Chains A and B, each alone.
Chain A
Amino acid sequence: MTVAVDIEEVFVLHRSGVRGIAALQGLSLRVLEGEIVVVAGPSGSGKTSLLRLLAAMDAPSAGRVSVHGADLGLFTAQDSDAYRATTLGILDQHYARSLSPDLTCLQSVALQLDLAGADPTSNREIALELLERVGLADRAESLPGALSGGEQQRVAVCAALVHRPRLLLADEPAGELDEESAENVYRLLGELVRGTGATAVVVSHDPASEAIADRLVRIRDGRVVEESTPGSPSQLVVGRGGWVRIPEPFLRDLGAPQRLTATPGTDSVVLGGRGSGAASATSVPTPSEPVAAHVPQINERMAEMRAIAKRFGDRTVLSDFDFSALGGRFSALVGRSGSGKTTVLHILAGLELPDAGEVVLGGEPLHGSTRDELAELRRRHVALVTQEPGLVPYLSAFENVELGLRLRRAEGDLAASVESALREVGLSDRLHIAAARLSAGERQRVAIARALAADVRLLLVDEPTARLDEANGRAVGHLLAEAAHERGLAVVAATHDPDLVELADKVVQLGG
């Protein structure tokens, strides 16, 4: 079979802060024509970088990427435009970002054909036909805002495939859909891709995606580390030069050694542990003394959700959901994108109001509270670390944390608290560097330090390891676990990261 995508030893470096980030570190992947490859991996592992590379939106820093024989690294801007116009179909996770809110569904679907200068009447017919196939012909003249999430994503699928691309790139195509809609979208995607003979690279954490996959590829730290076909066990990928990534559980079982012995067998290589001590990346923080003076009782109920229901439009995210955030416990909320993890965090923090059910925070029911009262409760009880913490770019790490404390009207020796919190997250050497000059991972740690310094009982973190490399992700995970176990905080994290999940005392699966 012909090779559609051929990626050889690709590196992508992004300038971020003073250090820079290697988003892809020698990634190699070959996709055959007509193949559907599903790519998985924790946040920050390089999935989006891979898609941007294949979409000719970023150029490789090193290595070679070719699609249907064309070397993308040699593309001019015009070549890239033409390539995206003819060869590529792109499907985004966020349908609201994929579809222009101002174009009708029919216009959105026909847009790529129109941009290519094809006959508008014929374009409309093709687009309408496609919408008919996905059961949305009657919504052709509607604006996306009038459609449900599932419907919008189906429209987005049509828009991505209307020009019969040879390569489809999809990024969590059902990430914001309920389970049923997600299955529908994947089924539809599979049908259409196969029907057009296209090749597809689909980034997804959703098990439903396996149904359409020919091959499953797992990425860690910017490399392809594992590969499998649906229903078969995964295999470690041996990279060029013999690089193999040993799965984390294996290493943990060996006591996280820093050195291993490798012994050849007849058809195997036996790895053995030698030496002692856990592996410790240089940037992994070493916890110091707890910042908080208040150490709550273990298992104290910091926040509770009872029989919570929450819908967004026609999509039910939570139904009859119960959850307790207990002091001294680290809870992980897991589930595919759109399963309601962030919503649970927001409801716990009183930033989202449930449609039904009861929420109690710090012993006080939230029902009937005004926004001002809820904010006051948060100030006293909750620290929320969002995926993109609102740090002030030109303030230093120290100043950002100090500002957070001022917002909470903290008193006492703020400077000491700030320094201690930043030391806890391993940023003692970067206190006075502006947030804008820190890497994404460092910014995330500043946000966590800000939360830890806040002296609250409930710490809510949303994808804390997203965009962190493995070592930093692990360090942050340990930090959160320690915050729960040693300081008695109730820590709740929404995550896709299996390493983080491993560290959790309690795992709550959302979205079925």
Chain B
Amino acid sequence: MSRARAPLVVAAARLRAHRGRALLVALGVSATTALLLGVIGGSLIARDRAVARQLTALPAADRSFRVDAFGLPAGEKYDAADGQATAALHLLAPGTPLRASFFRELRIDHELTQLAGLDNLAGLVVLRSGRLPQSCAPARCEVLQIGAAGDPRLDEGDIHLVRVGVADLRDRAVFGTSLDTVRIGGEAPVLLLADGRHVFDTLPAFDGIFRTYGWIAPVDPNRLHVWDISRVLERETRAQGDLARAGDVFRLSGPDQALLDARASGRASAQRLALVGGEGSALLLGFAIVVAVGMRRGLANERRRLRQRGASGRQTFLAAAGEIGTLTLIGTLLGVCLGVAAVALLARRAGLPAGGVLGHSLWSPTAVGLIFSAWLVSTGVLIAAATMREGDMPMRRLGLLDVAALGALGAVVLGLARGGLDSTAASTGGTRVLLLLLPGLICFVAAVAVARLLQPLMRLGERAARRTSALVPRLALLALSRSPARTKATAAFLVVGFGLALFAASWRATLERGARDQAAFQVPLDVTLTEGTQLVQPLDVASIDGYERLAPGVKAFPAVRRLADVAGEGASVASPTLLGLPAAAIGSLHWRSDFSNVPRNELARRVGKDGPAALRGVSTKGGVASVRVALAGDPVQLDLVTLDRDGNVGTVTLGEHAAGTFLATAKLPLATTEIVGLEISLSSSTLLGYTHRNAEAETSSVPGGSVALGRLAVNGKKVTDWHGFVGRHGLQIRGGGALRASYAFTEGQTMVLRLPQVTDGRPLQVIASPEIARSAGPDGSLVLDVQGTPVPATVVGVADRFPAAQEQGEGFVVADESRLRTVLDADVPGSGTPAEVWLATPDQASLDAALSRPRFAPLDRASRVAIERALVSDPLARGITIALGVAAVLALALALLGFWIALVSELRDERGELFDLEAQGVPPRILRRQLRVRAALLLAFALVVGAVLGWVLSRLVVAVVRSTAGTIPADPPLQLDLGFGLALTAVAAVLAGAALVVELTTRRAFSGSAPERSSWSLE
């Protein structure tokens, strides 16, 4: 031990003497350590916010732990059950649970009621009239009515309820379905609430009436933290066991799935952030090596002195290790302080308890182990680099580093080849260590490759420079190639620094683009309107023209969406989504070149090649339509198919008729512009019998008959005599003056009498997904079965993906909307009606404002911008993008710092060479210029190779990690975005910083009146 003191004294003295360098090194190490810690802490914060967000998004009823008791355990009083339920919930959520008792619907005094007793009623309701209940006794039990008022008293037998007020519930959802009132026989029950969960237990009249008891403990999303999830789930298991032992009447429920999902996505996110951490580690090592190489000469001199004094190998090692270890330790400790402060600040800004966040992130055994390992590894690498001699990396033989690099490369290749880095691992939180090591491994390989290739490259460059008269570049190249170790270390670090910066920036840009793409894939234009819960369709609210008038520049496109069946692989049947879109809309979609080999506009052209189509009918206007019908056979229902001025297809019934001759009439709506045809279907009574017999597998005769139609008139004016009309679905037209047709309802179908349509006999031109296109014939033809209607189509284009067309996962077929609509309406009138409207706008705000009007409220509205905003603002996504941004900036800053250290070291170590050059008559201005060119060459080399490294890293990571920033699988898959704008800005910043550093350093280096003497060592 006593022999260890002297080397440590030497180390301490060197540290004291070189405070500036020590500070620089410590700052570099601390910045990277702080990044690592920031990633760990930030990851926890992001995961916590994600959990909160996920919980907040849950319906209120699901956002609570709840114990329900279906009656009381046998022989037990309420208080005992209350104790057990409360104790169970106390394990899961702090505070007193909301207690309640619920009755099923009861008819009291001829009124359908639903009774409940709630604790703290005053806090749960907003009084509209009257007052709150104050007492409940057998003779008079005061209750509060929710909703409309009724008679004050409800008396039946021994039940005497008195309504003392009317109120609304503040948050009905918290009770889940317990307070939902269900209509019985068209009558809605009246909800009556008493103050106190067990007041009805005190009324003998209610004895024997079944009731349930509820204890509800709402979860505060901001108080249930990610680090609590495992503990909460464990406690929930325990609570469930306790309740099961207490009685079989209890049932415990909670937001388990949401918590499990949040935990899983949080883990995936943590792994993603660990990639950034891996990047930080690689930077730390790179920076350490550059610093170490800069220290090498000083350490070598000190080692020589110590060896002269008889120091053993261990003692000289201890001196180096003491100095370097202290530097890295100071840096690490400083980094820990910075990291803690940063995480605490982030936690505070996120409204989280800093102590909790720090305790579960930075003080966790994993984090402490990680930091300790980072310190240990950086110190080890620094010592190795600082004490390695120049000849330790022989040019023509494989050295230790080469073998290690080859090993790393092999590991990466093997991992990729074996699928060890698949997307599942990244998106489901699988522990794939290789994925986390990927940036570090690739950077290491790149660094060794750079170290290997730099010298030959510079020598080649120097040889090329000889052919020119340019002296300065040649001197610069000579200098670069004559000091290999330092140059290699600097170049390798710059390459790694730039590469990682670009990787971080491009991955960030890729994730941001991924959010945009994902939003645009869901909402291909700006807004998509669909049918809402009230079953109102967008075209019921406004016409296409009406939508286009909502705001200036708005383009509205109707979209038809159906499911079709098509022959699949082997004997299977695929059910692709059949999407009908106007060809013009296809040309306006947010599109990505990887969706199809065929450009979007070409696809649009091909789909719309046959031009738009419209349902063809006979012109008319609103009024009374009449037609003389002679019917023989089974009774039928007759409906006129109409078209209104907005192009909507409708039916107007002519009624059900039995055999005979009659005048069928109907009133056409005023907006009617055309009569498209006539539908003939089984009358409801015939249909019922037919269906019943089919269900009972009875053999029966097919209903059928014949019909003769006279001319169709509206308001007495002839509209058509059915000339040229054709029958569909089994309706056989026979010639003659009036139209005669026979019908046979072989499948209970609806028959249609209509004019021939432009789409008849012409297949739809469609874009299909590859698997659907494969099932097409050689000429691309296929037949789509749309709910029994065969729709012939020809595949005119194949796309791997199509926005908003892949919800079934069984491929897609996209056709021109007007033609698809016509085809469908021609066969089954009304079946082609668009259920979606896609809107494009140059002014999203105006459109949003217009769509916020009450008339559009029944519609579901999906906004591309809103989806993108939600994706980007996802805490996990934000955490990752912020971390990547910080990593990119840090990588560039460290690269600049390393560059500066290397420059200063070069000037110090090359005094001899520079002296020799000046002695030969090379003026300082040329030497300065040489240094500038040299720095520029090094930077240019590093920027180019770094860009390649960044690109490779980004490609690999993007190919491997297929989930979005929010850790859900990306659809469409992420596409690499190099973020050129940001990258160019960063390059400009780096170049400006480097130019400043070079200028300051070189000016100072040659500022003396005479060159420094060379300090040659003969050893």
Contact = CB atoms under 8 A, between A and B. Distances in A.
Interface stretch (A100-108, A127-135, A202-210, A269-277): A100-108
Contact of B923 (A92, A112, A371, A388): A371
A390 B17 contact: no
Given A372-B925, A392-B478, A407-B920, A117 B1010 contact: no
Interface in A379-408: 379-380, 382-384, 386-390, 392-395, 403-404, 406-408
Nearest to A98: B305
Contacts of B9: 103, 107, 114
Interface residues of A, number: 66
Contacts of A159: 309
A112 B309 contact: yes
A171 to B, nearest CB: 10
A393 B482 CA distance: 7
Given A102-B17, A371-B1011, A116 B310 contact: yes
A403 B310 CA distance: 44
B918 interface: yes
Interface string B988-1016: 00000000000000000010111101101
A402 to B, nearest CB: 8
A246 interface: no
B912 interface: yes
Interface stretch (A227-235, A347-355, A488-496): A347-355
Contacts of B309: 84-85, 90, 111-112, 115, 159
Given A111-B6, A351-B1011, A394-B482, A103 B13 contact: yes
A380 to B, nearest CB: 7
Contacts of B593: none
Interface string B500-516: 00000000000000000
Contacts of B921: 375-380, 382, 407-408
A82 interface: yes
Interface in B163-189: none
A97 interface: yes
Contacts of B16: 102
Interface in B1-41: 2-3, 5-7, 9-10, 13-14, 16-18
A349 B3 CA distance: 50
A262 interface: no
B315 interface: yes
Interface in A138-165: 143, 159
B912 A376 contact: no
A48 interface: yes
Contact of B308 (A55, A116, A119): A55
A282 interface: no
A114 B6 contact: yes
A159 B306 CA distance: 12
Given A116-B3, A387-B1016, A408 B920 contact: yes
B155 to A, nearest CB: 102
Interface string B909-942: 0001101111111111100000000000000000
Contacts of B913: 390
Contacts of A404: 920
Given A98-B305, A371-B1010, A111 B313 contact: no
Interface residues of B, number: 54
A81 interface: yes
B13 A100 contact: yes
B7 to A, nearest CB: 8
A341 to B, nearest CB: 13
A88 interface: yes
A99 B1016 CA distance: 17
A435 to B, nearest CB: 10
Interface string B877-918: 000000000000000000000000000000000001101111
Contact of B920 (A90, A346, A372, A379): A379
A77 interface: yes
Contact of A371 (B5, B920, B924, B1013): B924
A88 B309 CA distance: 8
Please report whether the interface of chain B is mostly helix, strand, loop or mixed according to DSSP: helix
Contacts of B307: 57, 81, 84
A86 interface: yes
A78 interface: yes
Contacts of A83: 310
B1014 A386 contact: yes
Contacts of B301: 97
Contact of A372 (B14, B311, B924, B1017): B924
B481 A100 contact: no
Contacts of A498: none
B1010 to A, nearest CB: 5
Nearest to A381: B921
A69 interface: no
A296 to B, nearest CB: 18
Contacts of B917: 390, 407
B312 interface: yes
A406 B1009 contact: no
B3 A115 contact: yes
Nearest to B475: A407
A406 B310 contact: no
A387 B1014 CA distance: 10
B310 A375 contact: no
A98 B18 CA distance: 19
A120 interface: yes
Contact of B310 (A85, A371, A387): A85
B323 to A, nearest CB: 10
B914 to A, nearest CB: 9
Given A81-B311, A115-B315, A386-B1014, A101 B17 contact: yes
A371 B1006 contact: yes
Nearest to A342: B1013
A111 B13 CA distance: 12
Given A82-B310, A103-B13, A115-B6, A406 B1014 contact: no
Nearest to A345: B919
Interface string A391-430: 0111100000001101111000000000000000000000
B459 interface: yes
B302 interface: yes
Interface string A348-372: 0101110000000000000000011
B2 A86 contact: no
A100 B302 contact: yes
Contacts of B1006: 371
Nearest to A52: B1019
Contacts of B14: 100, 102
A358 to B, nearest CB: 16
Contacts of B488: none
A386 B1018 CA distance: 13
B474 interface: yes
A504 B459 CA distance: 42
B541 interface: no
A113 B924 CA distance: 46
A385 to B, nearest CB: 9
Given A100-B10, A112-B310, A114-B6, A351 B1010 contact: yes
A103 B10 contact: yes
A375 B1013 CA distance: 15
Contacts of A116: 3, 310
20 contacts: A57-B307, A81-B307, A84-B310, A90-B308, A97-B301, A100-B13, A102-B18, A104-B13, A116-B310, A371-B923, A371-B1011, A378-B921, A379-B922, A384-B920, A386-B915, A388-B912, A388-B1014, A392-B482, A407-B917, A407-B921
Given A81-B311, A84-B307, 8 more contacts: A88-B310, A100-B14, A102-B14, A102-B18, A387-B1016, A390-B913, A395-B478, A408-B921
4 cross-chain pairs, A with B, having the tightest CB-CB distances, nearest first = A85-B310, A379-B921, A390-B916, A114-B6
Interface of B: 2-3, 5-7, 9-10, 13-14, 16-18, 301-302, 304-313, 315, 459, 471, 474, 478, 481-482, 912-913, 915-925, 1006, 1008-1011, 1013-1014, 1016-1018
